[in-house]
A and B are shown apart, each in its own frame.
Chain A
Amino acid sequence: MTVALFVPCYIDQFYPHVAIATLQVLEKAGVKVVYPPKQTCCGQPMANSGYAHLTKGCNELFIENFTGFDYIVSPSGSCTLHIKEHLHDAENEKEAEYIRNHVYELTEFLTDILQIEQWDAAFPHKVGIHHGCHGLRGLKVAQMSELVAEPFSKPGKLLNMVKGLEIVALSRTDECCGFGGTFCVAEEAVSVKMGQDRVNDHLSHGAEYIVGGDISCLMHMEGILRRQNSKVRVKHIAEILNGH
Chain B
Amino acid sequence: MNRENNDHATLAGRFNENEQRVSWHDETLWWVRAKRDKAAHTLPEWEQLRAAASQIKSNVLSNLSEYLVQFEGRALQNGVAVHWAADAKEHNQIVADLLTARGVDRIVKSKSMLTEECHLNEYLQSRGIEVVDTDLGERIVQLAGEPPSHIVLPCIHKKKEEIGELFHQHLGTPAGNADPQLLTRAARKDLREKFLTRRAAITGVNFAVAESGEFVVCTNEGNADMGAHLADLHIACMGIEKIIPQRKHLSVFLRLLARSATGQPITTYSSHYKKPRKGKEIHIVLVDNGRSVQLGRADFRNSLKCIRCGACMNTCPVYRRSGGHSYHTAIAGPIGSILAPNLDMHKYADLPFASTLCGSCTNVCPVKIDIHDQLYKWRQVLVREGHTTTVKKMAMQGMTFTLSNPRVYRFAGKAGRWLMNKMPYMVNNKWNTWYKQREMPEPPEQSFSEWYKKNRER
Contacts and interface: CB of A to CB of B under 8 A. Distances in A.
Interface of A: 7, 9, 11-17, 19-20, 23, 35, 37-41, 43, 45-55, 57-58, 60-61, 133-134, 136-138, 144-149, 172, 175-176, 178-181, 183-195, 197, 219-220, 222-224, 226-227
B346 to A, nearest CB: 15
Contact of A189 (B12, B379, B441, B442): B12
Interface stretch (B43-51, B136-144, B181-189): B43-51
Contact of A188 (B8, B13, B404, B413): B13
B372 to A, nearest CB: 8
Interface stretch (B58-66, B75-83, B328-336, B443-451): B443-451
B358 A137 contact: yes
B380 A53 contact: yes
Contact of B448 (A20, A55, A180, A187): A20
B255 interface: no
Interface in B404-458: 404-406, 409, 413, 416-417, 433-434, 436-444, 446-453, 456-457
B403 A12 contact: no
A19 B400 CA distance: 23
B44 A186 contact: no
Nearest to A172: B30
A137 B370 CA distance: 12
B257 to A, nearest CB: 16
A194 B318 contact: yes
B406 A40 contact: yes
A183 B449 contact: no
Interface string B10-24: 001101100100110
B364 interface: yes
Most A-side CB within 10 Å, residue of B26, B413, B437 = B437
Q: Is the interface on chain B under 10, 10 to 19, 20 to 34, or 35 or more residues? A: 35 or more
13 contacts: A17-B444, A37-B449, A37-B457, A57-B405, A146-B364, A176-B317, A183-B356, A185-B433, A186-B353, A188-B9, A190-B13, A190-B318, A192-B436
A45 B404 CA distance: 13
Contact of B363 (A23, A144, A195): A144
Contact of A180 (B322, B357, B379, B413): B357
Please name the 6 residue pairs, one residue from A and one from B, whose CB atoms are nearest each other, closest first. Answer: A57-B404, A180-B356, A223-B438, A146-B363, A50-B383, A50-B379
A192 B437 contact: yes
B456 A61 contact: no
Contact of A223 (B318, B404, B439): B439
Interface SS of B by simple majority: helix
B384 interface: yes
A57 B13 CA distance: 35
B396 interface: yes
B170 interface: no
A16 B47 contact: no
A53 B385 CA distance: 12
Contact of B416 (A13, A51, A144, A195): A13
Contact of B396 (A12, A51, A172): A51
Contacts of A7: 448-449
Most A-side CB within 10 Å, residue of B404, B417, B436 = B404
B360 A187 contact: no
Contact of B47 (A23, A149, A184): A149
B417 A13 contact: yes
Most B-side CB within 10 Å, residue of A149, A172, A194 = A194
Given A9-B409, A147-B47, A197-B321, 7 more contacts: A134-B359, A146-B315, A148-B47, A181-B356, A190-B9, A193-B19, A223-B440
Contacts of B446: 16
A175 B317 contact: yes
Contact of B403 (A49, A57, A197, A224): A57
Interface string B127-142: 0000000000000000
Contact of A46 (B8, B396, B416): B396
Nearest to A185: B433
Contacts of A172: 30
Contact of A197 (B26, B383, B400, B457): B26
Contacts of B8: 187
